[in-house]
A and B are shown apart, each in its own frame.
Chain A
Amino acid sequence: MTDAAMSTTAVKAGGPVNAVLNRLVIIVPYLWLLFFFLVPFLIVFKISLSQTAIAMPPYTPSFDLSEGIGGLLSGLKELSFDNYVWLTQDPLYFNAYVSSVVIAAVSTLLTLLVGYPIAYGMARAPTTIRPTLLMLVILPFWTSFLIRVYAWIGILKPEGLLNQVLLATGIISEPLIILNTYTAIFIGIVYSYLPFMVLPLYSALEKMDYSLIEAAEDLGCPPIMAFWKITFPLSIPGVVAGCLLVFIPAVGEFVIPDLLGGSQTLMIGKTLWNEFFANRDWPVSSAVAVILLLILIVPIVFFQQAQAKAQEQGR
């Protein structure tokens, strides 16, 4: 109670000048979001309602501001939801969305399974070597993402590093076909997004008081049960954060399916790329992007609610 009272007086003591400054500081991120998120989104949304045309830019109507309000209004009349209807008529898009979400979900689960033991090991490591371990997790970011994914081609291809090693050691007699399959996509996503899973998990596990585990054991709980009853429940905010940080970018992933998945695999990022660059159909690819955004906003909202709930719980 006294704390709350004190902080109230502290805010009041700031005076009107500070209050204005505080507002300005808050406005900055909103301006950023307005110009670099909302405005571009509205442009994409408008293009998604347009029709493809052989023109520059390749769609109609393009608002001509020289014609004034009249031109704007006549342009608005030409807008339609035809492209969205089109997306429902060709099963390609539906399949690509579903396949993307499934691939992203499976990859997220795999990343969690790989990342949790790593984060747990880091959090339990001696404090002196934790900064080094943290550095090792972040280290891959120092090389271009594209190059790292490209390197996996060299590892996974039939005559690649992995097959050479396995053939040489006699574990297999025929080269494994991994490149240009979904397996390659999973490997690529798990590899690329692992730090995004490990870091929030580590921060959740690291701040956990080890005496809680001792208390659980003291009360008759064997170590493995103590993990499931104490450690894991307390790391759930980290699990949620890590999963969303992997799932959201993985759904729209283009580079990994394009380089590792070959032409047979289906993901929405690749479909969008094809519509945009191969077919030069800006309106349809815009519609694909808008729907993708909607699919992604759902988990983001879920994430924010989970975060708010976690903050409410005070831990």
Chain B
Amino acid sequence: MKSLGSIRRSFAPWNDPNAKPYIRFENVTKRFGEFTAVNDLTLTIFEREFFALLGASGCGKSTLLRMLAGFEEPTSGRILLDGQDLRGIPPYRRPVNMMFQSYALFPHMTVEKNIAFGLKQEGMPAADIARRVAEMLKLVKLEQFAKRKPHQLSGGQRQRVALARSVAKRPKVLLLDEPLGALDKKLREETQFELMDLQQELGLTFVVVTHDQEEAMTMADRIAIMDKGQVMQVATPAEVYEAPTSRFVAGFVGNINMFEGKVADRQANTVRITGPSGAEITVENAGDAAAGADVAFAIRPEKIRVSSKRPADAVNALQGEVYDIAYLGDMTVYHVRLGDGQIVRASSLNAQRVTEDPLTWSDSAWVSFRPDAGVVLTR
């Protein structure tokens, strides 16, 4: 069985037409005065899903999260959680908890008291609170820090206290606003996997807001890519990367080469695209691009082969000149300038220590790729 990307997922309720939506945004719009933060957005999130909202700052992803938490009410549209309309329900009565970007730990309370705070509000008996707090401290490996105040902890420890506090009440949904934003790179990578394990262990639905695509790709089951208050694409990380549906998504996630052109002709699922300079590209599985349409052909650098001669079996090959080379150890990145001036970025994995066909600056070179290596974008 062929699949996009390298992972076969067993958890995929979004492909099941009978799966019940858990969180549903229906035509949600949020305006702040003149500014429209979220624009007629519809989105479905399933139970136990690790869902990421990815976008640049100001794209409306945090507003969406704050509406789910109850700090903002939608201007129009509705939000359903487990079938219940959330309109008018204040934050303190919603079965969701949020982990704040700033962590928002109560500075005058110990770690223990911070974690117990939500449980006390619920009126849980003291003995049960103590048990749950101990359990949470164990979960985030902070047992010996129970009596410390937040300012006596490191950034990573504070992050874990915030996490423990937000999951202590066993919310139906955990909202995480840039949960790893304040951590350094190494700690961030470790914590990504910890968060995934935690989500599995507790069986909760996670909705995480992030601007870091790598973070979203690593952790999420599905990613919603947002721009100007709208969802551009909702898909698994592999689909977002390998099958973007728009120029925006293609350009937003990872590196990509885009060739603008027109569809010259179409036969079944295969199209031929001609660029302004006359270059031709043949693409299989070209989606819905009709003949004559203005399209972009998008292809990832690692799917392009660079060679000094035109490969004999290549369907698509374009000639150019090596403009720049970056040797990164695990791979080499070539920038090849085509006849029309476009720079093509190609990366090749250095799987061998010795290269048969070495290239240098200003060499004449061919970039080639298979007809199924890229996607045709109409939007």
Q: Please give the residue numbers on chain A whose beta carbons come within 8 Å of chain B beta carbons, in ascending order.
A: 209, 211-212, 214-223, 225, 229-230, 233-234, 313-315
Contact = CB atoms under 8 A, between A and B. Distances in A.
B186 interface: no
A315 B104 contact: no
Interface stretch (B48-56, B92-100, B333-341): B92-100
B108 A216 contact: no
B357 interface: no
Given A214-B71, A313-B149, A221 B104 contact: no
A230 B120 CA distance: 14
B337 to A, nearest CB: 47
A314 B105 CA distance: 14
Contact of A214 (B91, B118, B121, B166): B91
Contacts of A314: 107, 149, 151
Contacts of B28: none
Contacts of A215: 98, 100, 104-106
B106 A220 contact: no
8 contacts: A209-B102, A214-B100, A218-B98, A223-B92, A233-B108, A313-B149, A314-B107, A314-B151
Contact of B104 (A212, A222, A233, A234): A212
Given A218-B92, A314-B107, 10 more contacts: A212-B107, A214-B98, A217-B70, A217-B92, A218-B96, A218-B166, A219-B165, A220-B92, A225-B121, A313-B151
Query: 8 closest Cβ contacts across the A-B interface?
Result: A219-B118, A220-B121, A215-B104, A211-B104, A314-B151, A217-B91, A217-B92, A218-B98
Contacts of B117: 216, 219, 221, 229
Q: With a 10 A CB-CB cut-off, give which of B69, B90, B106 has the most chain A CB atoms.
A: B106
A212 to B, nearest CB: 5
Nearest to A219: B118
B158 interface: no
A212 B98 CA distance: 12
B107 A315 contact: yes
Given A219-B118, A219-B165, A222-B92, A234 B100 contact: no
A231 to B, nearest CB: 11
Contact of B169 (A209, A219, A225): A219
Nearest to A211: B104
A209 B105 CA distance: 10
B107 A219 contact: no
Nearest to A214: B71
Contact of B97 (A209, A219, A225, A315): A219
Contacts of A220: 92-93, 118, 121-122, 169
Contacts of B100: 211, 214-215
A217 B165 contact: no
B305 to A, nearest CB: 48
B149 A212 contact: no
A220 to B, nearest CB: 4
Contacts of A222: 90, 92
Contacts of A211: 100, 102, 104
